[in-house]
Amino acid sequence: MRRRSLVLAAVLTASAVACLTVWPQARQQTPAPSPERAQDQRAPEGSPFSTLPGFSVVRVTPADKTESYIVITFDSQGRPVVSQSVSGSGSHPRTLIDADGDGIFESEKVISDQINTCHGLFFDGRTLYANCFGPRDPAVDGPVPAPPPGGRGGGAAAQTGIPGFYKLTDADGDDVYERIERLNRYVANGMGDHGPHAIRRAPDGSLTLMIGNNTFVPDDRIDEATTPNVRNLKERQFLPAWRDPRFGNSTREGIHGPFFRYQPDNGRVSLQYTGLRNAYDFAFNTAGEAFTFDSDMEWDVNSPWYREVKTVHMIPGGDGGYRNGTGKFQDSDFDVLSALRYLRRGSPVGVETYQAYAYPARYFDALFEADWSRGRLLYTALTPDGSTYTGRDDLAEFVHGEPMPITDLEVGPDGNIYFTTGGTNGTGGLFKIVWNGDRPAQPDMTGILAVVRQPQPLASWSWAAIEAVKTRMGAAAFGSALDALARDTSAAPADRMRAILELQRHGPAPSTALLRALAADSRAEVRAAVVYVAGVQTSPEVRAIAAAALRDSSPLVQRRAAESLVRQGLTPSQPSFAPVADLYALLGNTDRFVRYAGRLALEHTPRSEWAPRVLAETNVIAQTEGFVALANTRTSDADLAPVFDRLVALMRRTTLSPTEKIRVLRAFEVAATETSAGVDAETRKQVYDALIGQFPTRAAVSGETLLGCNSHHPDTNPATCEVLILSHHMARVLAYTGQPGAIAPILAIMPQGDDDQPGQIGYMYALRAIDSGWSDAQKTQMIDWFARASKWRGGSTFAGHLNNIFDATIDALTEPEQQRAYAAAPLFAPLTIEETTAAVTGRGGGRGVQPGAPAANARPVPLDSQERYDNLVFPRGSGPGSLAGRGGAPNATAGAQTFQQTCAQCHRFGTTGNAVGPDLSAVGKTMLRRDILRHIFFPDEQVADQYQTTVLRLKDGSEVRGLVTAETPATLAVATSARPATPSTIQKTNIDSRTTVRESIMPQDLPDRIGDQNIANVVAFIMDGPR
């Protein structure tokens, strides 16, 4: 089967040599098949879902009830409540009802007709908090906004009202929430994909919310006093950045996709994490740490600023680095926080941590992340790593479907994960994942253990269960039992930690005496819980407990101590109530998250108390953290002069490690953005002189790619990646100096040909800042590069951004030279009047131009092959397992015609075709549909030895490339792309050299010429088998 799979890629069809270049990052290593990955398992007969061994997926809504659900939660009584998109019987949230107890929710009840198209629902007893459309007050709310396009959140037809955060009350207990209050109005034009999202209870009992990057809370509703990172909510672009030519720009610059805490005492919000694109949901683990699954900007694919979808550990005041357009930050930028892991392409939706007992114990506290467009429910254990965590790097899925338009998930009272499917007006339903093996051992739930081991403690139904225990025991006995358990050193640390948290959540709040006693406990997880709840209290005694924890041996405790001190009220306008020396010491910590939290805390103290320490520092890590803090708190350019002096001195130190050099360069970039008019010319020249002799060579970065290094792919070499990333920082800083001498080394390091396209673009993105001093040879190299790059592909804005780089860079050319550049790269030439008109009006199949967008090219360019492949594997707009999608189901009859016209030149299928390649008659039974599609889109990804391309260099200087189909002592028969069915005969005496390359003769531009729908049809024909 493996041999047949490889052969398919070699000679599936024939055509001319590819004229456009496949994105090379598609050729990523795939982990070996494993029973721990659902995507490696075959789906049971009749089921669209593959699962891990021992699990199965059960539909719990009737098969003929195919509403498109976008949210699932459980109310305080443990009943499922869903929100629908417009494809269902209505978009109001509703409770699902299983009247006969057969496990199928056959009926439903609308809980409120005052809200619709909800993306976030959370119950607190008979109170419902909701992110939805709510009632419109024309006198206050103004005119009706334009509807958003459809997507995971559904179309616009039923979206009416005001997008807001609402509080509804069921006063009479009839399960209908008749009273409604708008707590906050969002600045948004709808409840679409990038609008308001999930609501959950936080470990301290407060309400936390997530919103996408196309909406925001009005500035007057943001409580700056309680927002930890309020100073740094800015774009902070070192080199001029471009917004996206079409789509993807955040509505509010500086505050991207925020996660925030609602404060009922003043109705305002505290921003807890920003720099996200469009995270839909989030969850907390048992330790009380927050995690989300953030989306990429898929239109950035193949650009140097592209960032894969990622798991994010959200700490208070964190910044994930998302910015508009070309301005996104990467993990190497230490002033933002790194991702926990990267997960390639996708559309993140629901997130959950599993804290129940229906599944085997190895899944307890695991993180589950749903991906709508890629039909996967990912999972990973969260392994502590200092003050943060690591996760699996093998893209392991718990459930897989092709497609499986999963939208949300939550653990139900029975301990099973429930998930919804739908979106894009497609069909869906509610499903649960069931363990079919032996029942796992259940924990002791007697006495107070029933509280600290209550499953999913932050869920509405679980909260109600704990409150019921408190009522039965009485508040005093409840508190005493938890206090005693927390102090019991013989008890399980997890139970003691939960006891502290349950006191904070359900009361009475932990006493100062308890916190003081446990602050010195031998278990770090207990001390971490103490310091976390200390942040909610502000007495001098509790502040002292948090301050003392800055010197703890545990990175998690140290990080939480810094965070708690900020929450307790550290402010630069008052003397610090925590020892500044202890806060400052965190800047040199070996833990990145500790350093980040320590720097934020330091910025909340008077600058005069710590600035001299920074300027006297000799440790590079502590220095650079301190320089960023000085830049963030500067009051004038004069404050930055000593920072630049010390940064230039560090740049001259050739003995620094690549990591240290990256930090120095990033600190310079940050400080430069805080100047009123940029760094002065004299300092720029000093920077150039310090760096130009240290620029890496191409050999030093060979074998790695920018995307692989930025996303920490497991097959990368960390040492080489450090040098590669250093070269990009250094290229930007050297280009910023404006010195023409920087051009030659940057051009010299650029990979040849089509290798590492994002990396090449990154270097040219830097070079566009040098607008004079290019030599004639360098100008020719520039023009040749744009000619090559104009054939590359990426996401929908890829060509537009390349066009912007082109326009900026050719400012260094004379008018005749610019005309030569237009001729070499006609894609980037100025649009004709007709093309401009078509672009502005959206005609002609172009990408279109938004009002106010950069003057970017609008000529139509196909998407990259990876995106098109994924869209065929996971067609959107249909239900689980359905291939209908937006363009309709594949047509095997039409596929037979395409096969006859194209594929039959090489392949036999039943009685049709030629036998140049293998017979494909049985492929549909031996290969998965996704594997056939992958071989079509990426023919060079896997090529068996006997099907490698032979390269013949003839004595007349010509070259023949093809598949050797026969060989005699005197001749070779070679099937070429142009004539696969009639091999050319080559006399061996005419051959100067003969080599093989691991490439297929199948052309890479096949999808462009026959179209994605025809590919889907051909695969349907092959999967059906010959008649």
Tens of pLDDT, residues 140-161 = 787 665 554 444 444 444 457 8
Give me the chain's average pLDDT, please: 90
The string of pLDDT tens digits covering residues 805-836 is 999 999 999 999 999 999 999 999 998 877 76
Q: Does the pLDDT at position 489 exceed 80? A: yes
pTM: 0.91
Beta strands of 177-333 (E only): which ranges? 179-185, 196-201, 207-211, 259-263, 268-274, 282-284, 290-294, 310-314, 318-319
Q: Which whole number is the average pLDDT over 738-745? A: 98
Q: pLDDT tens digits for 1015-1027?
A: 989 998 988 888 7
What is the rounded average pLDDT of the residues 670-695? Answer: 97
CA 930/CA 873 separation, integer angstroms: 6
- Annotate 251-267 with DSSP letters as a single string: SSTT--S-EEEEETTTT
Q: Do residues 404 and 48 lie in contact, with contact meaning Cβ atoms separated by under 8 Å?
A: yes
Inter-CA distances, 30 with 26, 398, 713, 715, 907, Å? 11, 17, 11, 10, 27
Q: What local confidence, expressed as pLDDT, does residue 155 receive? A: 43
- Give the three-state DSSP class for 568: coil
What would the DSSP string read from start to end of 885-923?
Answer: TTT----HHHHHHHHHHTGGGT-EETTEE-SSS-B-TTH
Residue 8 has pLDDT above 60, yes or no: no
Helix (H) or strand (E) holding 874: none
**In this model, does residue 18 exceed pLDDT 50?**
no
Residue that wins the pLDDT comparison between 389 and 948: 389
Both structure tokens of 506: 């359900």
Greater confidence (885 vs 198) lies with 198
For strands 318-319 and 268-274, give the pairing.
parallel
Tell which phi-psi region holds residue 478, choosing left (phi > 0), alpha (psi between -120 and 50) or beta.
alpha
Instruction: Give pLDDT tens digits for 523-582.
Output: 999 999 999 999 999 999 999 999 999 999 999 999 999 999 999 999 999 999 999 999
Give me the pLDDT at residue 144, please.
62
CA dihedral 545, 206, 384, 717 (to 10 degrees): -120
Domains and CATH numbers, the chain: 2-43+878-1024 (2.30.30.100), 49-435 (2.120.10.30)
Question: Would you say residue 425 has pLDDT above 80?
Answer: no
Worst-scoring range by mean pLDDT, 506-520, 747-761, 844-858?
Answer: 844-858
Three-class secondary structure of residue 673 per DSSP: helix
Q: Is the per-residue pLDDT at 844 higher than 70? A: no
Task: Please tell me the distance from the alpha carbon of residue 960 to that of residue 981, in angstroms, as a whole number.
Answer: 16
How far is C-alpha 704 from the chain's CA centre?
A: 21
Write down the H helix ranges in 1-91. 2-11
Tell me, what's the pLDDT at 458?
Answer: 98
Amino acid in the structure at residue 132 = C
Task: Give 822's DSSP letter.
Answer: H
* Rounded Cα distance, 943 and 223, in Å: 59
Answer whether 963's CB lies under 8 Å from 974's CB: yes
Measured in whole angstroms, how far is the alpha carbon of residue 981 from the centre of its chain? 45
pLDDT recorded at residue 90: 55
Q: Peptide bond before 196: cis, by omega within 30 degrees of 0?
A: no
Sign of CA pseudo-dihedral 618, 619, 623, 626: negative
Indicate if the pLDDT at residue 11 is higher than 70. no
- How far is C-alpha 942 from the geometric centre of its chain's CA atoms? 28
pLDDT confidence of residue 14: 31
Q: Where are the alpha helices (DSSP H) in 314-452?
A: 449-452
Q: What is the pLDDT of residues 62-111, one digit of tens each?
A: 999 888 899 999 999 999 999 987 544 458 999 999 999 999 999 999 99
Dist CA 443 CA 313 (whole Å)? 29
Q: Rounded distance, CA 371 to CA 247, Å? A: 21
Q: Which of 764-768, 841-845, 914-918 has the lowest mean pLDDT?
A: 841-845
Query: How far, CA to CA in Å, does 673 sit from each of 375, 607, 610?
Result: 41, 19, 22
Average pLDDT over residues 342-363: 97
Read off the tokens for 845: 């199949």
Question: Sign of the CA dihedral 280, 284, 288, 290?
Answer: negative
8 A C-beta contact, residue 330 and residue 710: yes
Distances, alpha carbon 4 to alpha carbons 10, 12, 959, 1024, in Å? 10, 11, 29, 17
Inform me whether the pLDDT recorded for 788 exceeds 90: yes
Average pLDDT over residues 519-525: 98
For residue 151, the model assigns a pLDDT of: 46
Question: What percentage of the chain carries pLDDT values higher than 70?
Answer: 92
* Residue 1003 pLDDT level (bands cut at 50, 70, 90): confident
- Which of 516, 558, 520, 512 has the alpha carbon at shortest distance from 537? 512
Q: From CA 418, how far away is CA 718, in angstroms rounded?
A: 39
Per DSSP, 438 falls in state S
- Tokens representing 619? 């440790």
Question: Could you say which DSSP state residue 432 is in?
Answer: E
Q: Contact 328/307 with Cβ under 8 angstroms?
A: yes
Distances (CA, A) of 76 to 73, 126, 408, 920: 10, 8, 19, 56
Q: Please say whether the dihedral angle defined by the alpha carbons of residues 456, 461, 465 and 468, taken in this order, is positive or negative.
A: positive
Under the banding of pLDDT at 50, 70 and 90, the label for residue 838 is low
SS (H, E, C) 457-480: CCCHHHHHHHHHHHHHHCHHHHHH
- CB burial string 471-480: b at 16+ within 10 A, e below: eebeeeebbe
pLDDT of 642 > 70? The answer is yes
Q: What is the distance between the alpha carbons of residues 545 and 556, in angstroms, rounded to a whole number?
A: 15
- Residue 136 pLDDT level (bands cut at 50, 70, 90): confident
